[in-house]
Structure 1
Amino acid sequence: MTTVPAKAGTKGMPRAARERQALAAATEEFGRHGYEATTMAAIASRVGVTKPLLHQYFGGKQDLYLACLNPIGDRLLGAVRTAMTEPAAGAPPTPLRVMDALFTALEGQREAWFVLYDATLPPGSDAAHRAAHYRDAIDDLAASGAADLLHTAGSDDPLDADALKYAWRGLCTALVRWWINHPDQSPEAMTRRCARIFAAARHIGLADGDDRP
């Protein structure tokens, strides 16, 4: 997993490269500590630039957060949309394709998930509204997938679909958090792990008396 070392140093570095380094460090800081606890001073120190220079490049903390969020939101939303398109014959089931797409999109910036799903964003702020835009779009896709999955299983109860949507978000968050704590695990290994977990969950359902094929 790619991380930015403390006080990386940027003397003589082109501005574009310095900005990319600052965004990588900021993404990691926001993802690890949350918006509220992250400071511009801490990010500047990690990158090896002055705080005024960081403000010169990105503006205030909210502007820097948005500069981190937008590519993350676009990447994750695009990954989920692609994974939910009509699969080719023999492709893995949709939930597994979605997990594989998320792990692949997050590799190298695993903390980015928690930039998008940050509970410390100031209510009513531009940051909160923008994050909600991406979360709502991903939730809409999850709701559609949940409804399709439940319909296949014989349920058309909208509350079932709504509950499954929230459970799915919680599962994704828990798995990404576990993945961050196991940096040796590749996206491919995580997808295989999810396949085993999903198979076990289905087996538990069958053990509880569900005899559907």
Structure 2
Amino acid sequence: MGAVKTKRMPRAVREQQMLDAAVRIFGRRGYTAASMDEIAELAGVSKPLVYLYLNSKEDLFTACIRREAKALTGAVRSGVRPGLPADRQLWDGLRAFFAHTGEHPDAWSVLHLQARTHGATFAAEVTAMREEIVAFVTQLIVVAAREAHRNPDLPEREVAGLAEALVGAAESLAAWANATPGVTAREAAETLMNFAWAGLANLMADRPWTPPEEPEAPEAPGELGEPVAQPG
């Protein structure tokens, strides 16, 4: 009998194995400390094969960012069901966000920490992902606000800042949740809903918080053309 031939692994599958290994190493060791030797060993391939498939450490890191950013935005979008009340859509979106970042802590480390601190090219990749999520949250809030205010022309800029603040809070909370043992995705989402929705609900009901009026500053001597008294 002849020797049994092993089935060659498709390139796409092998490449995903390399990316899986790279995300784990980059996420745990950081971009600078991570080595291609470690990544190749964890992926079960030779280092030359990693270079053949992904060209360089920089290109490998970029590929990791793009894959994980796509996975995160996809998880958030698929977690939200259109047609539900705004608070339920926000709740579902937050649960999907925290579930994904909690289940993939190395990927979140790559996106939230490593990519932002190792050069403008990497940061730009994460910025594009963040802008997509902010735009998605903005649309969710503005649709609810237009319905609540019975104003179909309410401009997006009225709620754009809220979406930015909400996404920023979610990012920080995800990092905290991943570093705090025992915090579940549901608990993280509930924390942010309790923090944010009270304010959003008041806005939907046209009851925004307004700052107190500033007292008028006293006029300084000599204002309005009045002569300034000179000392005797």
What is the TM-score when the length of structure 2 is the normalising length? 0.61
Contact 2:80 2:93 in 1 (8 A): yes
1:96 aligned partner: 91
The match for 2:100 is 105
1:45/1:184 CA distance change after superposition, 3 Å? farther
Q: How does 1:138-149 map to 2 (within 5 A)?
A: 138-148=133-143
* Residue in 2 that maps onto 1:24: 20
- Structure 1: how far apart are the matches of 2:15 and 2:95? 29
SS of the equivalent of 1:86 reads coil
Q: Deviations over 1:139-163 (max 9, x none)?
A: 2112223434555676957555232
Residue 57 (str. 1) matches residue 53 (str. 2): yes
One-letter code aligned to 1:177: A
Note if contact 1:28-1:109 (Cα within 8 Å) is conserved in structure 2.
no
CA contact (8 A) 1:29 1:38 kept: yes
Map 1:69-148 to 2 at 5 A. Answer: 69-88=65-84, 93-117=88-112, 118-123=115-120, 125=121, 127-148=122-143
Instruction: Tell me, in whole angstroms, the C-alpha distance in 1 between the residues paired with 2:161 and 2:144.
Output: 13
- 1:43 is aligned, of 36, 39, 46, to 39
Q: How well do the aligned residues superpose, as a CA RMSD in angstroms?
A: 4.0
Q: Is the 8 A contact 1:96 1:191 kept in 2?
A: no
Distance 1:83 1:199 in 2: 19
Cα displacement (A) at 1:195: 2.2
**How much does 1:97 deviate?**
0.7
2:44 and 2:79 map into 1 onto residues whose CA distance is 39
Residues 176/200 of structure 1: CA separation in 2 closer, same or farther (3 Å cut): closer
Percent identity over the alignment is 27
In 1, the alpha carbon distance for the partners of 2:158 and 2:33 equals 36
SS at match of 1:111: helix
Query: Which segments of 5 or more consecutive residues in structure 1 lack a partner in the other structure?
Result: 1-11
Q: Which residue of 2 aligns with 1:181?
A: 179
Displacement, 1:138?
1.9
Distance (Å, rounded) in 2 between the aligned partners of 1:152 and 1:36: 49
Q: Which of residues 189, 198, 205 is equivalent to 2:193?
A: 198
- What count of residue pairs does the alignment treat as equivalent? 192
Contact kept? 2:102, 2:174, Cα under 8 Å: no
Structure having the higher Rg: 2
- Matches of 2:26 and 2:158 in 1, distance apart? 33
Displaced runs of 4+ in structure 1, greater than 6 A? Answer: none
Counterpart CA distance in 2 for 1:139 and 1:203 is 20
